[in-house]
Homo-oligomer: A and B are copies of this chain.
Amino acid sequence: MKIAVDGMGGDHAPIEIVKGCIQAINDTDLEVYLVGKQELIEGELKKYKFDDSKLHIINATEVIENEDKPVDAIKRKKDSSMVVGLSMLKNKEVDAFISAGNTGALLAGSLLKVGRIKKIDRPAIATVYPTDKGMSLLVDAGANAECKPRNLLEFALMGSIYSQKVLGKENPSVGLVNIGEEEGKGTPMIKDAYQLLSKNELNFYGNVEGRDIPTGVVDILVCDGFVGNIILKVTEGVAMTMMGMLKREFKKSFLSKLGAMMLIPSLKSFKKNLDYAEYGGAPLLGVKGAVIKAHGSSNAKAIKNAILQAKVFAQKDVIQIISEEILKIGDEDHAG
């Protein structure tokens, strides 16, 4: 299996990206295509020993920066690592593409270069959300700020298939993020989405309130991209603020310093639970090819895990299954 990786995307490119690719090919039988500035990548590769029949450099002279406007950048920077990688995916030269670069550009590029699955109105970003019980999948994590009920139904369907095939969950449950547990809560859009989710063939749990999200009450959390972004970032903010407050408290006295030292192993194991690098990246569901967005601050471990995840994503025919299952949903629910 062949995976293309954007060598220039992310805060730690190309150093950590290259390192992650090396780890992945050394541990598996995958072939990796590293796309980016050839000289830079070659310079990094000199640091490592590896089977060079499993790693190929595809030269791309331009880089899409985080500040670039998505659609504009995709159209203008034709020889960027992102556009070149997406074109390889479209032409079936590779089975999947991973980038830690500009999220908006990756989304726009996936739509423009690779295309949507038929009958999917709006592709979504699906992110793993670490919970007390393991992990949930949150769809949409930010691709669509405004949604119609039909979009949320599509997110639920795509999330269920991905969760089953890639995350290995049997009959995964779907929850609708809402401001109350009872049916009939929320905005008109959310109420309509509740009805759509109820009447289709999903393992629909019902509404999920904010306070139950971190406990891991459902396998798939469905919401629009505005709410999804808020959930992810508030979670990150609260976790970081709490850790900071605890650290300050722990430094206040000799006894608390001593106590905190004894807790270092516990705190490390706790932190690991919240570490995005453990979970790989976020698939763009609804695109006609396996595209994974890795976290902007991905280290080598995160890139390696994203590559392993991309392998399963491509191997399990997730896109083919989505294409078939979406046809079973009534067209009367179609948004546009």
A265 at the interface (CB under 8 A from B): yes
A212 touches B237 (CB 8 A): yes
B258 touches A262 (CB 8 A): yes
Would you give the 0/1 interface string for A266-277, flagging 1 where the beta carbon is closer than 8 Å to chain B?
110110010000
Would you give the 0/1 interface string for A241-252, flagging 1 where the beta carbon is closer than 8 Å to chain B?
110111001101
CA distance A225 to B186 in the complex (A): 10
With A212-B237, A215-B237, A227-B230 known, 4 other A-B pairs at CB within 8 A are: A132-B241, A142-B179, A146-B188, A210-B232
Contact of A245 among B179, B211, B273 (CB under 8 A): B273
B177 touches A230 (CB 8 A): yes
- CB within 8 Å of B: which of A199-237? 209-215, 225-227, 229-237
Chain B residues lying within 8 Å of A241, measured Cβ to Cβ, are: 131-132, 214-215
Contact of A270 among B187, B214, B245 (CB under 8 A): B245
Stoichiometry, copies per complex: 2
Chain B residues lying within 8 Å of A234, measured Cβ to Cβ, are: 210-211, 213-214, 230-231, 234-235, 238
Contact of A246 among B145, B186, B270 (CB under 8 A): B270
| Given A263-B259, A270-B249, A211:B226 Cβ within 8 A | no
Contact of A238 among B226, B230, B238, B266 (CB under 8 A): B238
**A147 to B, closest residue via Cβ:** B187
**A256 to B, closest residue via Cβ:** B266
CA distance A188 to B226 in the complex (A): 12
Binding site for B on A (CB under 8 A): 131-132, 142, 145-146, 177, 179, 186-188, 190, 209-215, 225-227, 229-242, 244-246, 249-250, 252-253, 255-256, 258-263, 265-267, 269-270, 273
Sample 16 A-B pairs with CB under 8 A, ordered by A number: A131-B241, A132-B241, A142-B179, A210-B229, A210-B237, A211-B233, A214-B234, A214-B237, A226-B227, A227-B230, A230-B231, A234-B234, A242-B270, A249-B270, A258-B259, A259-B263
Residue among A190, A210, A212, A261 facing the most chain B CB atoms (10 A cut-off)? A210
Distance from A217 Cβ to chain B, minimum over Cβ atoms (Å): 10
B179 touches A229 (CB 8 A): yes
B213 touches A179 (CB 8 A): no
Chain B residues lying within 8 Å of A266, measured Cβ to Cβ, are: 246, 249-250, 252-253, 256, 259
Distance from A208 Cβ to chain B, minimum over Cβ atoms (Å): 10
What 4 pairs across the A-B complex have the smallest Cβ distances?
A210-B233, A259-B262, A249-B266, A211-B237
Chain B residues lying within 8 Å of A213, measured Cβ to Cβ, are: 234, 237
